[in-house]
Structure 1
């Protein structure tokens, strides 16, 4: 638990930094995520929200706020994985869930569905996630009526309404869990996807039954020009079909899930297709994941596949750090584990950041210890050079009900 003194200091500094243009982080163990490696006792100078210099004994312009890292680990802000942060406040309350499409029956597939207009940066989930050291997420469309779920985009968790980065991303779900959305068969899933691609590449014909609207055809066709498509897929044979489908239609594919990805690691490396992996998947909880194993990430990395991490539920995406730590515990090199939370997803989805170097976004976290250990915590979170208050609905509830005099009965403690 963070000390009240540390919380007060972070809050005080954030108030000043909110109006400041520059910030100097002094004396950290800086994990750059670049060829420069780890820099001991290094400083980071952030000017106008961007890292301008990294080195020792840096001098800063007059009026620059200073944050002392005290030799602690310093990294780029982390990636939550694919989520519905800012799109789903309470899953049990449909009025607050905006990441999936249902009951539009005029056409079966709506690739034009885009979740980003519904993003609420003031969702209580945003600061809950941010104070744990996470600075960006990939908003994902969740499959409901169709295996083509819709579009999402990377967004920085800085509280801005327009903090999106990179291009839109299309989400497609393949496998046994989504078979009921396409003829109850894997073969039917590929059949209707091929039909949708055929529709997208030619004008509609009068009176012909269609899977897509006019806008849906235009949207899907646009992705054939090297657009990024995230395929939620686990079974090795389905992954191979995904690679073939993406190559034939000009998609830049990303595999999400990939429980059996290690089986086809060579094919993924040859196709240069990365995997957003859930490294905690180690049990055959479906017929799509019979081959699950804890060293999946290590095997993929050894084969030359870029590995990122995703899979935690939206309200617990901060556990993505624990997931990366488990991958490292099962053979993945530590540096690759950190990259899977930072530089890999930033590069895949077009965000400036994910590493600490001049010219990158000033999104930095100071950690109490090893960021891939569950016993460590974020001591300070900096986004665009502004220090976060490190408060959220959860910390306020904690402070509201934390006993002050534990020797008294509950009725007398902080009413």
Structure 2
């Protein structure tokens, strides 16, 4: 390699990586803390060693710290990207790049399947998501050969290779999972009961009718002991009611994803302290399980006391930027603005077991922050700068680089040859 080419390669490498961590004072911002302190006007946030050290007015920048003048603009925690395949799905139409689904014919029920083992921190989808202020996502296993999809963890989009908290077990119930359970949703409860019996040791491990492997029994036993949360994709109110009864009987922690008809039994969800990841764009039913779909779902749930976050149904990995649209749409249909922001920050972090580290702007939390040009829940506005662990993230991606290449004036060679 020539010296010129080497220099260019090093420059590109440095440009594509986050800047080194530094002490930063973000001054005079409208700080939406997503905590009990609420929104602080004309406030400062001091970051040292990748951690938030102080939040308040009139903070002094320590020696060597850089100062960012926010001029009153909104500062929020980095946002939740939803339940996605980011880092385990590069091109949805190319099966060799999709690693979120397990299909085994001989023994399909494998709760021990963990999609986070396939996570690629160099995925091109990560910078695309970060440009819209997204700092963390929940890797969700998808149902393929079983209604028990498998496990996934919370990934910070800072280049880290491992989950930052406990894994969650993903399950699909209702009509969409019936084809995987003998064409009957009733069979889902039958199979769950047998799996629980196996995990609790009530069925011999060498039984010829066993559904789970030894590893699967051990995995499910951990969730039955309260070590992790079950995230259940389910929509129909009747199915959610059965789920609440089952969870109470087995004493497991659950969350609901989708929940098109969750508002119908909002008081029961609030009493059981079950959070819901709502598809806030769900208005018209796309199945018989969603006949009660409404744009007011999130607002009605929150009014009843249910903790609400958000999740997309289709192509969530490549459209994580739409999470802000979901939250904004919920706010437009009655959800208080602060609850809309909490649903993108504090709530998912707490539900997924990482709220002690991320999700709010408080001393001691990781400095995962976003400075916005305007209202973060209005898609007409954009993120000016993202910090993850106190590192300023380059505000570009493969998409912006392609935009710049083909928007530039034509030279002596075709644009594809420009560097």
Normalised by the length of structure 2, the TM-score is: 0.91
Structure 1 residue 125: Cα displacement: 0.4
Tell me the equivalent position of 2:131.
131
- The total of aligned residue pairs comes to 399
Q: How does 1:194-233 map to 2 (within 5 A)?
A: 194-202=193-201, 204-226=204-226, 227-233=228-234
Among residues 375, 378, 391, which one is paired with 1:386 in the alignment? Answer: 391
Residue 107 of structure 1 aligns to a residue whose secondary structure is coil
Tell me the equivalent position of 2:187.
188
Structure 1 residue 414: Cα displacement: 10
Tell me the equivalent position of 2:170.
171
Tell me the equivalent position of 1:339.
342
Structure 1 residue 108: Cα displacement: 2.7
Evaluate the alpha carbon distance shift between residue 288 and residue 45 of structure 1 in structure 2; reply closer, same or farther with a 3 A threshold: same
Structure 1 residue 183: Cα displacement: 0.8
Distance between the aligned counterparts of 1:211 and 1:199, measured in 2? 8
Structure 1 residue 40: Cα displacement: 1.5
> 1:173–1:233: 8 Å Cα contact kept in structure 2?
yes
Distance between the aligned counterparts of 1:232 and 1:15, measured in 2? 36
Distance between the aligned counterparts of 2:134 and 2:21, measured in 1? 22
5+ residue gaps, structure 2, are 1-11
Structure 1 residue 106: Cα displacement: 2.9
1:397 aligned to 2:402? yes
1:366 aligned to 2:365? no
Which deviates further from its counterpart, 310-319 or 84-93?
A: 310-319
1:88-122 CA-partner distances (Å, limit 9, x unpaired): 001111111111101x2332300000011100010
Evaluate the alpha carbon distance shift between residue 370 and residue 274 of structure 1 in structure 2; reply closer, same or farther with a 3 A threshold: same
Distance between the aligned counterparts of 1:205 and 1:253, measured in 2? 26
Distance between the aligned counterparts of 1:357 and 1:192, measured in 2? 44
> 1:156–1:165: 8 Å Cα contact kept in structure 2?
yes
5+ residue gaps, structure 1, are 1-10
Distance between the aligned counterparts of 2:404 and 2:342, measured in 1? 34
Tell me the equivalent position of 1:159.
159
Which consecutive aligned stretches of 4+ in structure 1 deviate over 2 angstroms post-superposition?
A: 13-21, 203-208, 411-415
Residue 18 of structure 1 aligns to a residue whose secondary structure is coil
Structure 1 residue 15: Cα displacement: 9.5
> 1:165–1:350: 8 Å Cα contact kept in structure 2?
no
Q: How does 1:28-43 map to 2 (within 5 A)?
A: 28-43=29-44
Distance between the aligned counterparts of 1:77 and 1:309, measured in 2? 15
Normalised by the length of structure 1, the TM-score is: 0.92
CA RMSD of aligned residues (A): 2.2
Distance between the aligned counterparts of 1:16 and 1:254, measured in 2? 35
Tell me the equivalent position of 1:24.
25
Structure 1 residue 250: Cα displacement: 2.0
Tell me the equivalent position of 1:5.
none
